[in-house]
Amino acid sequence: MKAVFTVSALEDLDRIRRYIAANYPELSALVGKRIHAVIGRIVAYPESARTVAGWSHVHVVPVIRYPYKIFYRIIGETVEILHIHHTSRER
């Protein structure tokens, strides 16, 4: 498996990075490393995460210790990262 990011997911990462760097610079590298570690686990075990209610093709994984969730789907041998969402923005 390999991971690819949608434009939206890349924008999410950039927004997260800028916000944390501006407000919590000491956490910036830690949060980035944690998000990338979770994505690594998603690639290794893509079917292990729960699916989103009403969207059976979309999986979601929380980023433990930080208020983010990673939404993705599996397309063949590719994990497509759709969004990285702050949990305070629940829909």
3-state secondary structure of 89: helix
How does pLDDT run along the chain (91 residues), one tens digit per residue?
A: 999 999 999 999 999 999 999 999 999 889 999 999 999 999 999 999 999 988 889 999 999 999 999 999 999 999 999 999 988 865 4
| Residue 91 CB contacts under 8 Å (≥ 6 apart), including other chains | none
Q: Are strands 68-75 and 78-86 parallel, antiparallel or unpaired?
A: antiparallel
CATH superfamily of 2-86: RelE-like (3.30.2310.20)
Q: How far apart are alpha carbons 46 and 52 in whole angstroms? A: 14
Per-residue model confidence (pLDDT) at position 90: 58
Question: pTM of the full predicted structure?
Answer: 0.91
**Residue extents of the structural domains in the chain:** 2-86
- Residue count of the chain: 91
